[in-house]
Every structure is written in structure tokens, then in C-alpha cells.
Structure 1
């Protein structure tokens, strides 16, 4: 079944527990002088800024003149909710987020998580556990023989998806990444409802767009300028003809928004799972019962 997890925006009020520190730099202070390259944080905005000038005193980051302070991105504690696949949130031991649900949450996805395992619990505000799911994040698909198994460290999944968690408004989703050892990381945490589109078909196209560029000088020497890249997936899907109008209207509401498109939450997804926005939707009404839909997804860019 082809599905899409539509993430909700997680506000400060909803994020009732966050143990990842905002430790990217000192808090901006109006009385301190900063020079080019100095970084500060505005914890009220959960953002990191870098000074673009010397002798920078008294000008507040995020103010009317963005040429003085360059916005670098979200702070460590909030990079998991910035809708970008930039540097991950990182913490020694384990990461814990608890989100107060304001709408129905039926799935959680961890994009770019690095840890032994992750646990998702649904709890009442008083702390009673309503449900719990635990997933091992290790991916051993690259360990093709016995030698590799003992010489190469297992990688972690690109995306871990927890389905059917059923968190009603007023209850809480508790997410724990890691087992308390090493360093836990996660690029993006997605919570929200799931839309079922149709039956996944063979013939999906998966690939990568690389934005790196070859720079050739006057003598023909070529240097590669490394830039970001993104996943690209095109899904062929069989849908009920009666649902074509509904699906078109529903997917139109996701235009210019990022969501998680996937076939399966378990097993081998053949690299089809992608977090991004859909670029194109086309449907051939092939018959009175079943029609053919094609959905092309452009993934969020990964920083080099």
C-alpha cells in the first residue's frame, strides 16, 4: 500500500519534554561585541546566527537587517523539527522527546536516526502507557558475507516508521532514541496522520539529483564543487477509480509541503521511502474500477 505521513508542526507548547541541549554557542547579549564568524543562539527562536561583520554590538539577530547576522539554522535541540535534512540533533546517551497531541497522531517517523534502537510510547497525561513500539535501527543489508559481518559496523536505517500508534488529542507521544550508550542522533522527527493512496506497483523509479558542479579552468583542469543532493522517487500506484477525485483534492493540500511518502514501514522498501514534496501527479482513468496514478517526489536536500 502506498501511503503518506502528513507531519504536523510541533510547537514549543506541544514539545513538553526535550532533553537535547541548545549548546551551539552562547546566548546573544546586547552588551557583547562580536566579530566576523562568531556564532550565537537565540533560544527564544531556537536558531543559530553568525556575525557577518566585525565590531558587531547591540544589533539583535533576526532583526530588521539580516546582513549583519546570518541565520545558520536551528539549534541542536530543535534541528529535529526544522523540516530540513541538515545537521542532526545529537546527544550523548539517548534522546527523548515528548509531544502533546493536539490532533490525531497515527504514525511517527525518524529520518536519519543513528542509534541502536528507538521506542515510541503513547501515554496519558498522568503517565499511564497506552501502547509501546520498539524498533532496532540497525540495517545489515550491506553486510553481504561473513567477513563483512565481523569487520564492518552495521549502518542505521534511513527512515524508521512507527505505524498505528493511535494517539488521541490530549494524550502524549514519547519518543526515545538510543539505549543510553554512545551518541544518539536524528535529523528529523515526523508525527502526524497517515493517508492511504492505493496499491503499490512494481516499476517505481528511485534515484538521486546531485547539485555538485564541475568547474573547469582555462587550462582544462576540472575541480568538483561538492553541493547538496536529494532523493527522487516516482511511484506507480493502482487506485480505485472512485477515489481519483478525492485523492487529487487531498494531495493538492500537500502541494509545496514536505511529507513522508512510503510503501512499507517494515522490511525492504527498495529505497522508495522519501521525505520531500511531490512535484507531479498524473492519473490515467483506465477503467471503471481501477486507475493508474503516478506520483513523483523530490526529496529534501541533504547537506554535503
Structure 2
């Protein structure tokens, strides 16, 4: 199999987001106003925090919603910022296209998850308005064509996750532009950039699966009552690592124990289940050989 990598996240701040074609407030979003009397259940947004808040108790309060948990509870990110909130299950959507321009600093990796669309174009300039130093176009048709018949008759298969780990990281003032397009509505659940770290070469025998949180109960006649719930990806990887980097890899992975990252078991088309956004539950490194060691990772994805 290919090399196993991890994209360590860079948090996109308000200052880093230069522009987005998704407005804030978006259509249907209401900006909080201190003088307005809100009914229980009313939802407003705060552009300062890029969050939505739901009213708990009807009334008017001058205190900011993010500082008033008695009257307001968080109700998720705004539409523009859903793709940057580092959570599965929230998405930025648009009728046919989304374009965002950011200044994230030095980065070498980019991952996009929960995608709906036909094409993504990623461009990096050496500085804002500068020279293009990187450009990639990703076709989001994940259909595996093996015959002329399939070329003409197979349905479009949405490629929902992809990663890039070859961005030029030596441009600290880079400008990153990402555009997703289609002739139908587009959606992006997660756009994460950061430093891509190579752990080693993934050995054969990697496993991928899910943990299902659906509720399944039998009634007194033995019939199942099923309530669909969330699920999370999970994976078990065994990675062959250079013995000379034992300490570096151990310390680097240990530092990520509480940080949601994109773990890439394989970055080839057709192996998307081995792209997992989440945490590792267990890390162990086995001093097995003179020149190489074995790194075992049990990874659990965020719920979706």
C-alpha cells in the first residue's frame, strides 16, 4: 500500500478568510439584535463568532448570546463557516459553486470531506495576488471504469472525500483558493489545511469500518424498530516506520492525541474509507526490526 500520512490542522481564523462566495448572513439567517424580543426557539447568528444561537426563554436581553447560556444555546456554525468548524455533519452549501480564498500560512496538506459536486480546483499563490505556484483540478467522479460499456452506462459516483499532500509548504504568506463547482447544488462538510506528516508505509491488512449509533429494538413480536442515527468511521492501520525516526514519530503522534486530524491510510482513488477524520484511540510502536519499526494505530472518526 501507499505511505500513511496525517494532516495536522491549521485553524482558519476570521483574519485568514479573505473572501467567500457564501454570504454571512446567508439567506434565511437572522443577525442578533439586542432590542428584539425573541420567541423561544428563534435562531439568530453572530458574525463575530460565526455561530448560530437558539433562544431558550422568550424575551429580550442585552447580553451577547455567546455570553448568555441561560437564554441562548449554540445551534451550530453559520453557513459560511460550516466548512471550517472542524466538525462532521455541518456543511456549507450553495446552488452551483463555492469559492473561498484564505491566507493560512505555511501548509503542505489539504483535505475536503463530505463533498457534493463535480469538480474542485485548488490554487496556491506565493503571496496575496502573487504568482501561482500550485494548481490542481480534482474530478469528483469516483466511478471505476473497467470497460467501454461501463464508460457509457455507469452512473456518476460521488467522490465525497479527497486529500492533497503535495502543496508547497515554503510559502508562509501564501494565498489559497479553493473552488467547488457543479450544475446542481454543491456542499462541503470539512475543508482542512495544515502540515502533512508522513508516518511510514502502510502494511497490507489495514481494516476500515464504521461504528453505528442507530437505535435498534425488538418489540414483543420480535420485529425490529430501527431509528437511524449517526455513525463514525473507524480504521486499524499497521505502519512500517524508519527506525531512525522512532522518537520523532512517537512524539509527533502523541502531541495529536486530542486534536482531530485527517488520517490517510491510502490516498488512491477507490480507498476513500481509509481517509478518516478524527482521533486515534490507541497508539503503539513495536521495535520489531533493526531498520524499521511497526506503528499500530486504531483510529475513530468523528460522528456523521
TM-score (norm 2): 0.90
Partner of 2:295: 293
Partner of 1:223: 225
Partner of 1:201: 203
Equivalent residue for 1:156, pick from 146, 155, 158:
158
Equivalent residue for 2:184, pick from 182, 185, 188:
182
The yes-or-no answer on 1:264 pairing with 2:266 is yes
> What runs of 5+ residues in structure 2 fail to find an aligned partner?
none
Could you tell me how far 1:209 is from its partner in structure 2? 0.5
Equivalent residue for 1:45, pick from 43, 49, 58:
49
Q: Is the 8 A contact 1:121 1:133 kept in 2?
A: yes
Could you tell me how far 1:40 is from its partner in structure 2? 0.8
Provide the rounded CA distance (Å) in 2 between the counterparts of 1:263 and 1:217.
41
CA deviation map 1:126-155 (0-9, x unaligned): 342222110101111499995896474x23
Q: How does 1:1-304 map to 2 (within 5 A)?
A: 1-22=3-24, 23=26, 24-64=28-68, 66-102=69-105, 104-123=106-125, 124-141=127-144, 150=153, 152=155, 154-167=156-169, 168-179=171-182, 181-215=183-217, 222-269=224-271, 271-302=273-304
> What runs of 5+ residues in structure 1 fail to find an aligned partner?
none
Could you tell me how far 1:110 is from its partner in structure 2? 0.8
TM-score (norm 1): 0.90
3-state SS of paired residue (2:247): helix
Provide the rounded CA distance (Å) in 1 between the counterparts of 2:222 and 2:271.
42
Higher strand share: 1
Could you tell me how far 1:266 is from its partner in structure 2? 3.1
Could you tell me how far 1:253 is from its partner in structure 2? 0.9
Deviates more, 1:37-46 or 1:239-248: 239-248
Number of matched residues?
298
Could you tell me how far 1:54 is from its partner in structure 2? 2.6
Could you tell me how far 1:244 is from its partner in structure 2? 1.8
Q: Is the 8 A contact 2:266 2:274 kept in 1?
A: no
Distance change (3 Å), C-alpha of 1:105 and 1:215: same
Distance change (3 Å), C-alpha of 1:220 and 1:29: farther
Could you tell me how far 1:218 is from its partner in structure 2? 7.3
